Structure 1
């Protein structure tokens, strides 16, 4: 039965003078990737040593300075990978590797064996401290759990002393921190810190894992601030966060946790991890980037990152993944497309110092996305988006009234298929509907004569010649067509502009005619400013029923 009464709300921390809501993140935290450990253990098919090596190299390339590479005491592939990194000198001098181990001596011993010869390493020891784990899994009281943590801390100190040539950092996690009474979490961490004595120079990290996300992010931030305030050795340790995404708020919890005083954040690329995943470092890093804060990680080639992560994890990156997904910079909505088009033009014309474009929180080019993905067309798209595709991909700029004409044609095609339409298909529809003209209606020559305020135009095609008079060449040709086909022609819209500069520049003319009440449009490009509008008039007329009837006769 779906019954909410089966559950109870998570208790809030009584922290009336909290300060984190007034804080702002102005510098990136220390990052630690756990893709190769936490991410790997959540995969259907764990990574091979080869895949782990490739992902490690990507993490180094992105700029990670701390990377958790595995659980070498619990897995032979992890042990072999650890040895490969050290024996083949694959760890850059400015990168520190991290390994995880339970607070058990035989595992700690093997962990230090795996790290033999490392220049610098973080050994991350943990044991479960939550109320549920104590009561239901271990059957121990708080003193019993603390004894496990303290003994684990002592073993780390003892085995590290056997390898004096390595620079060691000790890290402790009260696993399921969020499910642990806050004062007891502080008590057990104080006990571990007393063993390690960071005030005397030992580097220490205290990790606060939201092993299972149990509350709203603000409550987690309260826990972190309360913890930081009351930990005895706070000034001598780095506080780290490791949030999971069970409630979909792992990134928000990490951000608020940093505002609450944390120094370091663990997570994975694209958020891969157990259950609903780990904290997504790309999302949090790009969140900072979008606010003008240097994330200290290089996400300039998101396509490469996605390709590597999908290959190593054998899991697809969702198309709507924040910042990185294939469709996150794509607009199908007509109003969105029009706003993007106008906003980008405004931005370019005024050379604004900061990026301020409608619907695009960052410049997609910054992370390796091309502008051709920003606007894509389906039946929901509008005139602005269709016009932008022609401008962007084919350098075809149309007057605003033509946007409507073109979008009608494209929308009809997409409604018939029910699918997205490609830029090439839009260009084909544009050509077929407005540009292409049958041979009998192609201008083969013309002569324009001006006498006082009257213009006489003689326009020849392969099959006919049309001569008429008017205030200008366009009016004169329309008069000739009206006389020849016994119809009424009105020019509703006309626009012409040069394509390029200099004597070799072409002209594009766009025209909309009313032929006996029938609406007809056409576009023509010619080598001079007189031929283009004359051809546009003939092309538009050729699309009318009057011309079709004449051809049939």
Structure 2
């Protein structure tokens, strides 16, 4: 922002609450959840949902586990009205789900809304009117506090009057002082208490007072102060469900909601992935999974989050950001080498720990929750680009292709692969990483290759083996023979017999290739040249002995 523009802005006033208690609270249970995707989310779409799309989305929300769903603004448009009627007339609302509708405190809209909900088992009638000084001055042409309070009270009276006209439907009143976030607290309490006085809720038949952070003007701690102040000043607190409805203008919707719950709120309204006006509503997925990550059961099932995201993106035509918490494509992905190494170590350690104790608490560096718990895969955790490290590349080769490289081999393979990524200027796929590894390190045949190979027991020295091989060096075939305490050692002596041993073997590993052919084995040989250079070679072959020889030859070739 241009510094000369700063003078037009003022800090938001703090709440005088010296004995605030919310900072000492912790969230120990889930709130009542209410999805407003089909109303608040839908009205913010460039292309609003059709009736059929809304029906599919409603079914999705029910499967996730929402027990309260705001289904629209039926008095505002025929599409909204017809959708609600189909839900009711086609008996699409589960027994344990309560629908919610939104309506301004205007008589003809409230009457039309009652036509819409007739026949539903239960319905929350959510009435609202704007209450802030800014709205009173601009939207309502300098309306007084009394004028605004009368709108709220008259709306509540009309709802109460209309309840007997639909006796088959249990009506629950919800009132929102819209723009609560910048309404004077004393007036917000006055108008909410006036509505409470009309409705006369009881502990058995509660009403909802929704305190919307309609536009975020301030930091989450002040929002929490406002919620705690209101809770202290609401009449009939034991008969009122205090609800939050945060937006995300300052990018702190999740924080404001969590602190609001610490301040004593009982209920949360929001949308999947934060869809909503301007920068969006609260992302309920985010808050619920935050709670799951602290061991709190939420009643919402996000165990297949990719499938939920796919339905959401298809129906809303919105795109979930790659960095969206939990749901984004890259949130369980590490490109950084140090992160990759820590994740690999953490996953390997956890695999060993859970084999002993399946109940061991989750603990993997950089992963706040287990990606598998929300339908994500480990295979996508580590992605390779020029910023990646040796551990990440080893992880991909292990998890994707069953090649468990010795740790000492990681630096050479890592440097080669991420240099390739840097050269190409892009991320490498797991198959490209495998291909690069094979091209550089595996079964190398130039300048030396093994044409034929035969092992036999040495008759003179018990336990030793004799190697007879045909090798081709720069196109010329040679017969070689050697004896040693194993196939590798015997072959080294065979190379020495024709003057090709200018190295020593310093490490050897082998294993069956996981996830590939059951007949394949992989071997890794480290050799040190007489001039001090150290290289690794890899061999893959159905024969474990031949895999070892191919690994040795690959290493020999890399020294040339």
TM-score w.r.t. length of structure 1: 0.93
Gaps of 5+ in 1: 546-553
Gaps of 5+ in 2: 472-476
Q: Which residue of 2 aligns with 1:337?
A: 340
1:14-413 matches, within 5 Å, as 14-138=16-140, 139-199=142-202, 202-351=205-354, 352=357, 353-413=360-420
TM-score w.r.t. length of structure 2: 0.92
Q: Which residue of 1 aligns with 2:455?
A: 446
Paired with 1:111 and 1:289, the residues of 2 have a C-alpha distance of 37
Runs of 4+ in 1 over 6 A off after TM superposition: none
- How many angstroms does 1:483 deviate by? 4.5
Q: Which residue of 2 aligns with 1:495?
A: 509
**2:32·2:266 contact (CA, 8 Å) conserved in 1?**
yes
**Larger CA deviation: 476-485 vs 206-215:** 476-485
Alignment deviations for residues 170-229 of structure 1 (CA, whole Å, 9 cap, x no partner): 010111111111011000111111111113864311100010011111111111111101
Alignment deviations for residues 469-528 of structure 1 (CA, whole Å, 9 cap, x no partner): 56765444334324424662232433345669xxx9875331133456465432224566
**1:121·1:169 contact (CA, 8 Å) conserved in 2?**
yes
Paired with 1:148 and 1:506, the residues of 2 have a C-alpha distance of 78
1:477-488 matches, within 5 Å, as 477-485=491-499, 488=502
**Larger CA deviation: 233-242 vs 452-461:** 452-461
Alignment deviations for residues 125-179 of structure 1 (CA, whole Å, 9 cap, x no partner): 0011101111222121111111111111111111122111110000101111111
Asked if residue 524 in structure 1 is aligned to residue 531 in structure 2, the reply is: no
Paired with 1:454 and 1:154, the residues of 2 have a C-alpha distance of 100
**Larger CA deviation: 181-190 vs 304-313:** 304-313
DSSP-derived class of the 1:254 partner: helix
Q: Which residue of 2 aligns with 1:541?
A: 556
Alignment deviations for residues 306-332 of structure 1 (CA, whole Å, 9 cap, x no partner): 111111211100011001111111111
Paired with 2:38 and 2:519, the residues of 1 have a C-alpha distance of 59
Check 1:456–1:111 CA distance in 2 against 1; reply closer, same or farther (3 A cut): closer
Check 1:408–1:447 CA distance in 2 against 1; reply closer, same or farther (3 A cut): farther
**Larger CA deviation: 478-487 vs 98-107:** 478-487
Paired with 1:260 and 1:217, the residues of 2 have a C-alpha distance of 11
1:461-472 matches, within 5 Å, as 461=470, 463-468=477-482
Asked if residue 435 in structure 1 is aligned to residue 442 in structure 2, the reply is: yes
Paired with 1:471 and 1:455, the residues of 2 have a C-alpha distance of 5
Check 1:338–1:450 CA distance in 2 against 1; reply closer, same or farther (3 A cut): farther
- How many angstroms does 1:448 deviate by? 5.1
Check 1:46–1:472 CA distance in 2 against 1; reply closer, same or farther (3 A cut): closer
**1:442·1:538 contact (CA, 8 Å) conserved in 2?**
no
**1:487·1:515 contact (CA, 8 Å) conserved in 2?**
no
Paired with 1:506 and 1:184, the residues of 2 have a C-alpha distance of 76
Paired with 2:192 and 2:173, the residues of 1 have a C-alpha distance of 12
Out of 422, 429, 449, the position equivalent to 2:429 is 422
Paired with 1:497 and 1:145, the residues of 2 have a C-alpha distance of 77
**Larger CA deviation: 27-36 vs 480-489:** 480-489
**1:443·1:535 contact (CA, 8 Å) conserved in 2?**
no
- How many angstroms does 1:434 deviate by? 2.1
**2:201·2:207 contact (CA, 8 Å) conserved in 1?**
yes
Paired with 2:526 and 2:411, the residues of 1 have a C-alpha distance of 12
Paired with 2:542 and 2:283, the residues of 1 have a C-alpha distance of 56
Paired with 2:500 and 2:292, the residues of 1 have a C-alpha distance of 66
Paired with 1:267 and 1:522, the residues of 2 have a C-alpha distance of 56
DSSP-derived class of the 2:177 partner: strand
Paired with 1:199 and 1:468, the residues of 2 have a C-alpha distance of 95
Paired with 2:324 and 2:442, the residues of 1 have a C-alpha distance of 40
**2:273·2:320 contact (CA, 8 Å) conserved in 1?**
yes
Q: Which residue of 1 aligns with 2:474?
A: none
**1:441·1:542 contact (CA, 8 Å) conserved in 2?**
no
Q: Which residue of 2 aligns with 1:11?
A: 13
**2:458·2:483 contact (CA, 8 Å) conserved in 1?**
no
Q: Give the paired residue count.
A: 542
**Larger CA deviation: 365-374 vs 449-458:** 449-458
Paired with 1:114 and 1:36, the residues of 2 have a C-alpha distance of 15
Check 1:97–1:454 CA distance in 2 against 1; reply closer, same or farther (3 A cut): closer
- How many angstroms does 1:235 deviate by? 1.3
**2:510·2:524 contact (CA, 8 Å) conserved in 1?**
yes
Paired with 2:96 and 2:56, the residues of 1 have a C-alpha distance of 18
Check 1:535–1:199 CA distance in 2 against 1; reply closer, same or farther (3 A cut): closer
The alignment's C-alpha RMSD in Å is 2.2
DSSP-derived class of the 2:227 partner: helix
Q: Which residue of 2 aligns with 1:551?
A: none
